[in-house]
A and B are shown apart, each in its own frame.
Chain A
Amino acid sequence: MDAIAVDGLRKRYGEVQALDGVSFAVGEGEVFALLGPNGAGKSTTVRVLVTLTHADEGTAAVAGHDVRREQNAVRRAIGYVPQDSGVDQYGTGRENLMLQGRVQGMSGRDLRSRADHLLDLVGISDAADRIVKNYSGGMRRRLDIALGLVHRPRVLFLDEPTTGLDPEARVAMWAEVSRLAVAESLTILLTTHYLEEADQLAGRLAIVSRGKIVVEGTPADLKAGLRGDAVHIELTNGALDEAQRVLVGVGAKPEQVIDGRTIVSRVENGGRALPGIISALDGAGIPVASVSLSRPSLDDVYLHFTGREFSSEDRGE
């Protein structure tokens, strides 16, 4: 049985079609990422799955329970770490954990030892009895994750787990999540707008764009599916059409144009093809500002399937 089964979710907020037929399945023990820009529908999907909101159409089941009809069964089976931390800032880390455990039906020694264990597991034991208001961003995020885990859920939802963390804390968090997935034998669904994050953490991922899943697979398969290397050619002037004709002529058919001046082509063997490409452009009198060659990355996968580059705007920075 799948830990998460989503079928044809649609949801509209006023004029915005937030979800436009989202379907996917996550197997038990998998780490699955929804990757996409802000507003693509990742968080809305998660909010439907954790029973915070309802979809207009479609069905979803988590840990075998329908998210609409068996809400409390779903809530007991899941841990949810929201994008915005929901901790009580005026309580201590331990108090937050104890309350979360109590509303999940835990009590007594079991709860106390579970809280101790988790504080240790996420590395904030030393700060356990300090008021959360004085925690750093990274510590708060660790507490968030501990809160999501207190009742030993089978499925953990991490909505943008590292947004707002500095790069160092982000890398530490990746290691943490990978470790937890094994230590707690969890199914994890995470959303992210960081390509590296999906690449690092997810066994499988889906790219979400405008309320739809555009492609799904393992990071390796998605990259392999592109076949060949990406050649980025940046032109100094706007001779785009001419340059594209030249590129077709040498067997480097342009795939995309970025910002009206950089052409991306895909070729079987970049190293061998590059000299031919440069001399052909040179021969046609087209000035080139820069040329770069790269092995397929998730960036390219994203570009290929959504038709646009993963810009810093998408990252919400």
Chain B
Amino acid sequence: MTLLRHTWFMTTRQARNLMREPIWIVLLLVQPMVWLVLYGQLFRNVTRLGGFGTSSYITFLAPAIVVMNAFFGATWSGMSMIADLDHKVIERFLATPASRFAIVLSQIVRSALTAAIQALIILLVSLALGVRVHTGVLGWLVIIIAAILVNSAFAGVSQAIALLTRREATMIAVANFIGLPLLFLSTTMIARSQMPGWMQTAARFNPVDWGVRAAREVVLPGTSWGTVALYLALLLALSAVTAAWATTTFRSYQRSL
């Protein structure tokens, strides 16, 4: 109970600070919009290669861009922890009965919340661009949940790295290091059957791809709910593992004080 209450208090603080500068949410959306609109148009004929499950490339791309955006957002989420460490906000909380897990969890929840809001905006823009979600409202919900889970899985990693290194420069390096490789080793931009064999294998173990597969499954016809449930369950399990890892690194941070 204390954990939930404290997570709520701390997330409220972060959400409030975020809403105070809503310009950030918009600025952060510029990149996914470029992918969706420009890249989507540039490669519109790629579906002729076959295996895309639709002739509309933007319909194929849109759910994946939602997940990609959630993934990129997550890799940066540790920056906010580093800012709190630098400003000694964390230390102030540590001298109170504040739940330790809530301190870490609130960072992940804030990150996931941002991803959910952005997912909704990207989906609305996609709708305007003619993308139709085959499974309707339930499908929208699945896409947003996929975005939240991909985000929290990687936000946990980002928090752990932030707590281990406590340096912004290292965070930037790590975000760049894992960002593009995980994007290209997934079916975000291309049908699975068009990928080289070794990349298909690699994608199977890529959590970003799990999210993309779940989100795309509800957009295109012939939805397999079992597949959706499997990938979402995998992401949920991974989120729990990375959150636990982040909490462990938080304990080692406390010991270093």
Contact = CB atoms under 8 A, between A and B. Distances in A.
- B partners with A: yes
B92 A147 contact: yes
B95 A75 contact: yes
A52 to B, nearest CB: 5
B20 A90 contact: yes
B91 A52 contact: yes
Contacts of B96: 75, 100, 103-104
B257 interface: yes
State which size class the interface on A falls in.
20 to 34
Interface string B83-95: 0000111111111
Interface residues of B, number: 21
A47 B257 contact: yes
A88 interface: yes
B98 interface: yes
A82 B95 CA distance: 10
A86 to B, nearest CB: 3
B87 A86 contact: yes
A38 B147 CA distance: 49
Given A91-B13, A95-B13, A76 B257 contact: no
Interface in A125-178: 131, 147
A99 B9 contact: yes
A103 B95 contact: no
B95 A80 contact: yes
Interface string B50-92: 0000000000000000000000000000000000000111111
B176 to A, nearest CB: 26
Contacts of A147: 92
A51 interface: yes
Given A75-B97, A82-B95, A103-B6, 20 more contacts: A47-B257, A52-B91, A52-B257, A72-B97, A80-B95, A85-B87, A86-B88, A87-B92, A88-B13, A88-B87, A88-B89, A89-B87, A90-B20, A91-B16, A91-B17, A95-B13, A99-B9, A102-B9, A103-B9, A105-B97
Interface of A: 47, 50-53, 72, 75-76, 78, 80, 82, 84-91, 95, 99-100, 102-105, 131, 147
28 contacts: A51-B94, A51-B95, A52-B91, A52-B95, A53-B257, A72-B97, A75-B95, A75-B96, A80-B92, A80-B95, A82-B88, A82-B91, A82-B92, A84-B88, A86-B87, A86-B90, A86-B91, A88-B13, A88-B17, A88-B87, A95-B16, A99-B13, A100-B96, A103-B9, A103-B10, A104-B96, A105-B97, A131-B20
Interface of B: 5-6, 9-10, 13, 16-17, 20, 87-98, 257
